[in-house]
Amino acid sequence: MEDGPLPETAAEDASEAEAVVEAEVQAEPALEAAPAFVMEDGPLPEAAAEDTSKAEALVDANVLLGASEPEPAPLPEPEPEPAPAVPAAKPRIVLPAVVGKTVALNAQQAQQQAQQAQQAPPVPVAPVPAPRVVVDYRLPPAELLEAAADQTEQVSEERLRETRELIEQRLSEFKVPVAVVGASAGPVITRFEVEPAMGVRGAQVVGLMKDLARALGVTSIRVVETIPGKTCMGLELPNARRQMIRLSEIVRASSFQSHSSRLVLAMGKDITGHPVVTDLARAPHLLVAGTTGSGKSVAVNAMILSMLYKATPEDVRLIMIDPKMLELSVYEGIPHLLAPVVTDMKQAAHALNWCVGEMEKRYRLMSALGVRNLAGYNQKIRAAEAAEQKVPNPFSLTPDAPEPLSTLPLIVVVIDELADLMMVAGKKIEELIARLAQKARAAGIHLILATQRPSVDVITGLIKANIPTRVAFQVSSKIDSRTILDQMGAESLLGQGDMLFLPPGTGYPQRVHGAFVADDEVHRVVEHWKQFGEPDYDEAILAGDAAEAGASDLFGDGGSDGEADPLYDEAAAFVLNTRRASISAVQRQLRIGYNRAARLIEQMEAAGLVSQMGRNGARDVLAPGPGD
């Protein structure tokens, strides 16, 4: 066949096969440069060019399924050369339809993956502000609290007239003539306004109160020597049947509902039955004291529930310190908490240290922004957010790209038993409380301190001077009443929530009957807030990182090795320079506790720097000084 001419059909097929081969050769560089799909007459796709076996498999599959176009005429048997042209011709007919679909599908999938990749980065970033922006906090409804019973018993006019005449008669028997000019009955007590006769001193009436109480058959009588705005005295007698005041009555009152502050506290009702509320932000701190069973813990619970009824976790955060591990542990898990309820006194000191550091940080931020308090700071941040702007952090660790500032919540520190905390670390705790009471108001940090031991070693003069707003429940003596209020009167209270409330800026205490709140009511309000998610705790509060160096000195366990103390070298240099081996001198110079200074001196004795203590308690410095 080599020497003879080819048949016409074979010659045509051979020429077509050569054209296809030439097209494939020309298509190889084009496939590398542009692997896009080309129609039948153009270059083959890249997949077909790289893997011929796959193309043949696709061709065979297509043949099995049935091709729409007829195959070329077969070559004669004696001429085998044109046979390889048949598979070369088949891709020209079949491959573009099969491989083209595959390439189109791959391109479509790649495009979808690219779009997903472009949309992927925002996905992990979106949930970051979710706890503050997405969560829709709802304040608890008043229906969670028990409704007050309908027990509004009014003291009859006849009963008031009889008591008025009896007071005048009994005092005249003691040769103290008075005139009862008015009476006002309340839910717990009734106040009689008494005007002494000419020449009768008020002290004479005060001195006869025990005799008058015995004559009238009542447990106690409280004398109000001066009623603001009036020229008479007041005698407060307990009613025969006292009414129970529920927290729901105060929460539903217009004075509570219309109050704009997030730190409004429901105190109770006054002697005439009107609701009494106070703003902790204006107080700005509160001292609560009373003996066991006087209603102190119930009042603290009512104050906490008042804030939970007015503020969301975005507005107010709480730090609770409960040495008794019973009163405040019920609030564990609400989103308002900045840290778990603190029951360890060492962690309580760390929490107060953290509050001092947070106060200083907020003061630096407010000073840099030119505002005077936390309300002005938050207002400036919200104004910038409304204008779609951001206020950069002036103290950012990355000054080139500072992070934007956000609003800061108010912080309320509730200490249920101050006496236990003062017994563990009295001096240091007193200093921390005094610092917070002096400066923390503008930074939005407020204190509620409660104690059942109102003695001078717990409620010190430094604490009293910086906390003018105080609440005194029933106490056992006039001395305790003076310790709390700087005046007598709390020893004559009735107990069970009966209190004397000293508002800020006034020297006249107001008698208030505290609102009662049951444990079931507290649990219902707590469960309402728990449904909005877990609390966002700040681990640094209880870790004590800000005051780790001084924590050991605070609790007197600074270690046994004095030379391991970081202040040992400084203490030794001070002793060698001054030639005075005095514990008190080292204590004053380094501003440390007595136990730590004593350990430093003892270690100097072990090292041979100072002598043993003599009979008079003095020590000699044995080591030579710097100039010797």
pLDDT tens for 181-195 read 999 888 899 999 999
Q: Which residues of the chain form CATH 3.40.50.300?
A: 247-543
Q: Which residues of the chain form CATH 1.10.10.10?
A: 558-628
Query: Which residues have CB under 8 Å from 458's CB, separation 6+?
Result: 418, 419, 422, 451
Residue 316 has pLDDT above 70, yes or no: yes
∠ CA 504-505-506, nearest 5°, is 95
pLDDT bracket for residue 22 (50, 70, 90) = low
DSSP 174: T
User: Could you tell me the fold of the domain covering 558-628?
Assistant: Arc Repressor Mutant, subunit A (1.10.10)
Tokens of 337: 């908490």
133-192 tens-digit pLDDT: 457 889 999 999 998 877 666 778 888 899 999 999 999 998 999 999 999 888 899 999
Length reported for the chain: 628
**Alpha helix segments (H runs only) across 66-179:** 85-119, 122-125, 130-133, 157-173
Task: Report the range of poorest mean pLDDT among 33-47, 130-144, 461-475.
Answer: 33-47
Q: Which residues of the chain form CATH 3.30.980.40?
A: 157-238
Round the CA-based radius of gyration of the chain to a whole number and report it: 44
Contact between 235 and 210 (Cβ < 8 Å): no
Q: What is the pLDDT of residue 592?
A: 87
585-610 tens-digit pLDDT: 898 888 888 888 888 998 888 888 88
Percent of the chain with pLDDT over 90: 37
CA 562 to each of CA 565, 579, 598: distance values in angstroms, whole numbers, following the listed order:
5, 19, 9
Residue 41 has pLDDT above 50, yes or no: no
CA 191 to each of CA 221, 269, 471: distance values in angstroms, whole numbers, following the listed order:
10, 14, 20
Percent of the chain with pLDDT over 70: 74
- Going by CATH, does the domain composed of 247-543 fall within 3.30.390.30? no
Query: Which residues have CB under 8 Å from 623's CB, separation 6+?
Result: 576, 608, 609, 610
Helix (H, G, I), strand (E, B) or coil at 484: helix
> Which residues define the annotated binding site?
290-297
C-alpha to C-alpha distance for 395 and 397, rounded to whole angstroms: 7
C-alpha to C-alpha distance for 469 and 448, rounded to whole angstroms: 10
Residue 33 has pLDDT above 50, yes or no: no
Contact between 556 and 595 (Cβ < 8 Å): yes
Q: What is the pLDDT of residue 66?
A: 45
**Residues 68-80, mean pLDDT to the nearest whole number:** 46
C-alpha to C-alpha distance for 201 and 184, rounded to whole angstroms: 24
DSSP string, 349-365: HHHHHHHHHHHHHHHHH
C-alpha to C-alpha distance for 453 and 332, rounded to whole angstroms: 26
Residue 68 has pLDDT above 50, yes or no: no
Q: What is the pLDDT of residue 6?
A: 46
Helix (H, G, I), strand (E, B) or coil at 81: coil
Contact between 485 and 500 (Cβ < 8 Å): yes
Residue 326 has pLDDT above 90, yes or no: no
C-alpha to C-alpha distance for 266 and 172, rounded to whole angstroms: 41
DSSP string, 13-58: HHHHHHHHHHHHHHHHHHHHH------TTSPPPHHHHH-HHHHHHH
**Residues 276-283, mean pLDDT to the nearest whole number:** 93
> Which residues define the annotated binding site for ATP?
290-297
Residue 511 has pLDDT above 90, yes or no: yes
DSSP 626: T
C-alpha to C-alpha distance for 12 and 22, rounded to whole angstroms: 15
Q: What is the pLDDT of residue 292?
A: 86
Task: Report the range of poorest mean pLDDT among 37-41, 117-121, 509-513, 577-581.
Answer: 37-41
List % helix, strand, coil for the chain (3-state, nearest 5). Answer: 45, 15, 40
**Residues 293-304, mean pLDDT to the nearest whole number:** 92
Residue 320: name the closest of 362, 612, 40, 303 by CA. 303
**Residues 404-433, mean pLDDT to the nearest whole number:** 89
Task: Report the range of poorest mean pLDDT among 62-66, 75-79, 268-272, 300-304.
Answer: 62-66
Q: What is the pLDDT of residue 505?
A: 80
| Whether this model's pTM surpasses 0.75 | no
pLDDT bracket for residue 395 (50, 70, 90) = confident
CA 373 to chain centre: 19
Residue 628 has pLDDT above 80, yes or no: no
Tokens of 549: 């160096």
pLDDT bracket for residue 461 (50, 70, 90) = confident
C-alpha to C-alpha distance for 347 and 349, rounded to whole angstroms: 5
User: Could you tell me the fold of the domain covering 157-238?
Assistant: Threonyl-tRNA Synthetase; Chain A, domain 2 (3.30.980)
Burial 7-34 (b: 16+ CB within 10 A, else e): eeebeebbebbeebeeebeebeebbeee
Contact between 319 and 411 (Cβ < 8 Å): yes
Query: Which residues have CB under 8 Å from 572's CB, separation 6+?
Result: 600, 604, 609
Residue 38 has pLDDT above 70, yes or no: no
534-564 tens-digit pLDDT: 899 988 888 765 444 334 444 444 444 545 6
CA 41 to each of CA 11, 23, 32, 52, 243: distance values in angstroms, whole numbers, following the listed order:
21, 8, 18, 18, 102
**Comparison of pLDDT for 566 and 517, the residue scoring more:** 517
Q: pLDDT averaged over the chain? A: 79
Residue 2 has pLDDT above 60, yes or no: no
Residue 266: name the closest of 257, 280, 256 by CA. 256
Q: What is the pLDDT of residue 269?
A: 94
Q: For 104, what's the count of Cα atoms within 13 Å in the CB-facing half-sphere?
A: 8
C-alpha to C-alpha distance for 443 and 378, rounded to whole angstroms: 11
**Residues 366-370, mean pLDDT to the nearest whole number:** 92
Q: What is the pLDDT of residue 521?
A: 94
Query: Which residues have CB under 8 Å from 311's CB, separation 6+?
Result: 262, 263, 336, 410
Contact between 94 and 68 (Cβ < 8 Å): no
